[in-house]
Structure 1
Amino acid sequence: MFFVSDIYTTPPDKFDTPLQKETYRVLQNLHIPFERVDTDEAITMEDCVQIDKKLDMKMVKTLFLCNRQQTAFYLFITAGDKPFRSKDFSNALGVARVSFAPVDLMEKMLGTKIGAATVFSAILDNNNAVQIVLDKDVMAKEWYGCSDGTTTGYMKIRTAQIIHDFLPFVEHKPSIIEV
């Protein structure tokens, strides 16, 4: 059985990654409330089903993409149950075809491993090398469910606070697309 802890409204007692620590520091500094759970390691969207039930929301799917030359990078945030089609993404954004970025670049640029990609990686992206791209469907949801930068910590935050408080704070203006 997949373990999901009780719901907490405070940061973890100890942090597993520098990004996780910064995520909670920024949320506290911006006075953004959250609910969070600790879990067994969750890598796939199927792993997130129990997390969704516990937090009463739907987890977003966060994909780290790049062009073939690895000179343009995108953090695409879409509905967790929505299939990803590179062609649709590229057409909607008006860019050359993209693919998944290599694991080593994900760790270097986002500060996460596979399964932990999160909008909070924008904290580490001081030179705006990664473009945040939001699916219009995500914008319409009241709640934003995502990783805290680890594969064992997940949280629920109001989507409006991600858009209007967090992203401006980290100086990232998201592109909104419909796919």
Structure 2
Amino acid sequence: MFIVSDIYTTAPSEFKTELQEKTYHTLNDLHIPFERVDTDEAITMEDCVQIDKKLDMKMVKTLFLCNRQQTAFYLFITVGDKPFKSKEFSNALGVARVSFAPADLMEKMLGTKIGAATVFSAMLDKDNAVQIVFDKDITHEEWYGCSDGTTTGYMKIKTAQIIHDFLPYVKHMPAIVEV
């Protein structure tokens, strides 16, 4: 059985990764409220269903993508149950066909492992090597559900605060596409 904790509105007492620690410190510095839960390790979108129910929101799907040469990188944030179609994504951005970036690059560039990709990785991307891309459908959601940089911590934040407060603070202006 997949375990989901009670809801908390404070940071964990201990951090599992540098990214997780930066995430909570930055949200605190920006006065961005959140609700969070601790869970068993969640890897698939199916694991997120119980998290969604507990936090009363829909988890986003965050994909780390790159071109064939691994010179252009994208963090694509879309609706959790929407299938990803590389051709539609590439056409919407006007870029060469993309695929999933390798796990080692994900850990190196985003500070996360598979299953924990998160918009908060933008804090580690000081050179703006990764373009943040939102599916337009996400921008219409009141709540933004995502990983805190681990596969065992998930949170709920106002979508507008991610787009209008957090991303400008970390100097990443997202592209918004319709796919």
2:163 is paired with a residue whose SS is helix
Amino acid aligned to 2:149:
G
**What is the aligned partner in structure 1 of residue 131 from structure 2?**
131
Q: Structure 2 CA distance, aligned partners of 1:130 and 1:117? A: 12
**What is the aligned partner in structure 1 of residue 79 from structure 2?**
79
Per-residue CA deviation, residues 138-177 of structure 1 (Å, 9 max, x unaligned), is 0000000000000000000000000000000000000000
**What is the aligned partner in structure 1 of residue 59 from structure 2?**
59
Amino acid aligned to 1:111:
G
Q: Structure 2 CA distance, aligned partners of 1:131 and 1:154? A: 23
CA RMSD of the aligned region, Å? 0.3
Distance apart, 1:47 and its partner CA = 0.4
Distance apart, 1:134 and its partner CA = 0.2
2:144 is paired with a residue whose SS is strand
TM-score (norm: length of structure 2): 1.00
Q: Structure 1 CA distance, aligned partners of 2:42 and 2:81? A: 15
1:168 aligns with 2:168: yes
Amino acid aligned to 2:136:
K
1:133 is paired with a residue whose SS is strand
Instruction: Give the number of aligned pairs.
Output: 179
1:11 is paired with a residue whose SS is coil
**What is the aligned partner in structure 1 of residue 120 from structure 2?**
120
User: Following superposition, which runs of at least 4 residues in structure 1 exceed 6 angstroms of deviation?
Assistant: none
Q: Structure 1 CA distance, aligned partners of 2:94 and 2:59? A: 26
Q: Structure 1 CA distance, aligned partners of 2:70 and 2:28? A: 34
1:113 is paired with a residue whose SS is coil
1:71 is paired with a residue whose SS is coil
User: Which ranges in structure 1 are unaligned for 5 or more consecutive residues?
Assistant: none
**What is the aligned partner in structure 2 of residue 144 from structure 1?**
144
**What is the aligned partner in structure 2 of residue 93 from structure 1?**
93
Q: Structure 2 CA distance, aligned partners of 1:126 and 1:30? A: 18
Q: Structure 2 CA distance, aligned partners of 1:2 and 1:51? A: 10
Q: Structure 1 CA distance, aligned partners of 2:135 and 2:17? A: 27
**What is the aligned partner in structure 2 of residue 159 from structure 1?**
159
Q: Percent identity?
A: 83
Q: Structure 1 CA distance, aligned partners of 2:65 and 2:84? A: 11
Distance apart, 1:6 and its partner CA = 0.1
User: Which ranges in structure 2 are unaligned for 5 or more consecutive residues?
Assistant: none
1:144 is paired with a residue whose SS is strand
2:52 is paired with a residue whose SS is helix
